[in-house]
């Protein structure tokens, strides 16, 4: 199943235009080019499904299994304190790309200091917004930032024998 109008199908799966950190025969994990935080990953099935209502159970379980396997290595690689796991279904729920995907977003308890792509002590987004909610503001990552973060995550995955 392939949708030529889908950016994930055509650009990521087919042309590999993403910083891919993990791939097997049915799933793929790559860095979001507009991350909420450094290390923000998207996990997708390689087959095209629009959302949770569309995906078959077998592919759903493979994606969810990969999400679980990736969490600890991402936390180790990014030296973060926690993670958000999210999945949006439909435009009103903020689904932008209509290909089923799960977000894994590293989070730090310290609202200003983390280990962003610039290394220890790099400034991160403020964890809590002024109104007391989690910050979901996105930033534009450079290709250099994505390569460095991708390298760190792949090294941790290899160390954990996931890849």
Do the domain assignments include residue 2?
no
pLDDT exceeds cutoff 80 at 96? yes
Confidence of residue 116 (pLDDT cuts 50, 70, 90): very low
Percent of the chain with pLDDT over 70: 83
Asked, for residue 55, whether it belongs to a domain, the answer is: yes
**In-domain check, residue 94:** yes
Whether 134 is covered by a domain: the verdict is: yes
Number of structural domains in the chain: 1
Q: Could you give the CA distance from residue 9 to residue 13 in angstroms, rounded to a whole number? A: 5
Does residue 9 carry a pLDDT above 80?
yes
| β-strands 102-107, 113-114 pairing | unpaired
- The enclosing H or E element of 106 equals strand 102-107
pLDDT interval class at 136 (50, 70, 90): confident
Give which of 83, 35, 69 is closest to 157, Cα–Cα: 69
Q: Residue 22's CB: how many other CB atoms inside 10 A?
A: 19
Residue 27 pLDDT exceeds 50: yes
Measured distance CA(63)–CA(69) in Å, rounded: 10
- Catalytic site residue from 33, 40, 48, 101: 101
What is the Cα–Cα distance from 162 to 145, expressed in whole angstroms? 23
Q: What mean pLDDT do residues 128-145 have?
A: 75
- Judge whether 101 counts as a catalytic residue: yes
CA distance 21 to 2: 21
Of 33-42, 58-67, 70-79, 136-145, the poorest mean pLDDT is in 136-145
Question: For residue 115, what pLDDT is reported?
Answer: 43
In this structure, is residue 1 part of a structural domain? no
Stated pTM of the model = 0.86
For 88, phi then psi, to 5°, come to -105, 145
Q: Which domain holds residue 19?
A: 7-159
- What is the pLDDT at residue 132? 58
Q: What is the CATH number of the domain that holds 47?
A: 3.30.428.10
């Amino acid at each position: 199943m392939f949708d030529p109008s889908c950016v994930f199908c055509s650009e990521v799966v087919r042309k590999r235009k993403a910083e891919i950190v993990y791939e097997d025969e049915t799933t793929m994990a790559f860095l979001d080019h507009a991350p909420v935080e450094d290390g923000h990953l998207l996990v997708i099935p390689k087959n095209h499904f629009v959302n949770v209502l569309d995906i078959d159970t077998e592919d759903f379980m493979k994606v969810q299994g990969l999400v679980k396997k990736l969490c600890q290595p991402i936390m180790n690689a990014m030296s973060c304190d926690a993670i958000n796991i999210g999945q949006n279904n439909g435009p009103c729920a903020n689904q932008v790309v209509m290909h089923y995907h799960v977000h894994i977003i590293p989070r730090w308890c310290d609202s200003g200091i983390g280990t962003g792509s610039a290394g220890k002590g790099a400034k991160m987004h403020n964890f809590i917004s002024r109104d007391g909610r989690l910050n979901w503001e996105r930033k534009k990552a450079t290709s250099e930032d994505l390569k460095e973060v991708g390298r760190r995550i792949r090294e941790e995955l290899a160390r954990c024998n996931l890849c």
